[in-house]
A and B are shown apart, each in its own frame.
Chain A
Amino acid sequence: EVQLVESGGVLVQPGGSLRLSCAASDFTFSDYWMSWVRQAPGKGLQWVASIKRDGSEKYYVDSVKGRFTISRDNAKNSLYLQMNSLRVEDTAVYFCARGPLISYFDYWGQGTLVTVSS
């Protein structure tokens, strides 16, 4: 069964950095777009970033451009999100998600909580 397991979420101070990881298993990782979607406490879903199967294309929501970097290692079946210059408003559960296309997500991880606070 497809599995996506996120890790790396912690409490960090504003301005700090963090790297999230997502370990994928039981599917051919390199065949899929991979994305990060976040959900602030009590709020709705917000798409954060997506990366193409071979890593050649990357897309970001405007609010994280220049601060976050999505990457993948197909040899390790892993997805990453490097988060720099973190802001209080980045506080959220971050979900890793798989997509046959960039526009939708057929499997999701359970999420990892990132808290940005002083």
Chain B
Amino acid sequence: QSVLTQPPSASGTPGQKVTISCSGSNSNIGNNYIHWYQQVPGTAPKLLIYRDNQRPSGVPDRFSGSKSGTSASLAINGLQSEDEADYYCAAWDNILSAVDFGGGTKLTVL
């Protein structure tokens, strides 16, 4: 059971916008940065969004992050076939003194 809650799956067609949610509490998302990772099965995770809404160099601006209270979202605009992957949110937890990961969302591009 993950501390951060994500939907197990999401889907969209090429060109569509898809949003993946991540829900937590005041001990994690509510008072700390949220970060997002993309993982193509069989490969290492890749940092997609950090500090709520910052993109590392090389990440397309189709990817964006937002946060409100104890929830956060990852939006993917102009969905492409190569976006098919697993997506994870993560945040520091002040009570656990640990990094919490969400359970992951499997994105399918139809």
Q: A44-B2, A50-B99, A111-B44 are in contact. Are A104 and B35 (CB under 8 A)?
A: yes
0 or 1 for each of B13-49: is its CB under 8 Å from A? (1 = yes): 0000000000000000000110101010001111100
**Within 8 Å CB of A35, what residues of B?**
99
Instruction: Verify if A110 is at the interface (C-beta below 8 Å from B).
Output: yes
Question: Which of B32, B37, B104 interacts with A103 by CB under 8 Å?
Answer: B32
Size bracket of the A interface? 20 to 34
A108 to B44, CA, bound (A): 6
0 or 1 for each of A45-87: is its CB under 8 Å from B? (1 = yes): 1110010000000011110000000000000000000000000
Question: Which of B2, B50, B91 interacts with A106 by CB under 8 Å?
Answer: B50
Closest to B105 in A: A44
Instruction: Verify if A105 is at the interface (C-beta below 8 Å from B).
Output: yes
Instruction: Verify if A23 is at the interface (C-beta below 8 Å from B).
Output: no
The A/B interface has a contact count, at CB < 8 Å, of 61
Instruction: Verify if B88 is at the interface (C-beta below 8 Å from A).
Output: yes
Question: Which of B47, B56, B92, B101 interacts with A45 by CB under 8 Å?
Answer: B101
**Within 8 Å CB of A104, what residues of B?**
33, 35, 47, 50-51, 90
Instruction: Verify if B68 is at the interface (C-beta below 8 Å from A).
Output: no
**Within 8 Å CB of B33, what residues of A?**
101, 103-104
**Within 8 Å CB of A61, what residues of B?**
98
**B93 nearest CB across to chain A (Å):** 9
| Interface residues in chain B, defined as those with a beta carbon under 8 Å from any beta carbon in chain A | 2, 32-33, 35, 37, 39, 43-47, 50-51, 56, 86, 88, 90-92, 96-104
Known: A104-B47, A106-B50, A108-B44. 19 other contacts (CB 8 A): A44-B88, A44-B103, A44-B104, A45-B45, A47-B90, A47-B99, A60-B98, A62-B96, A95-B45, A103-B35, A103-B90, A103-B91, A104-B50, A104-B51, A105-B37, A107-B47, A109-B44, A110-B43, A111-B44
Q: List 7 A-B contacts (CB under 8 A).
A: A44-B86, A44-B88, A103-B92, A104-B47, A104-B51, A105-B37, A106-B56
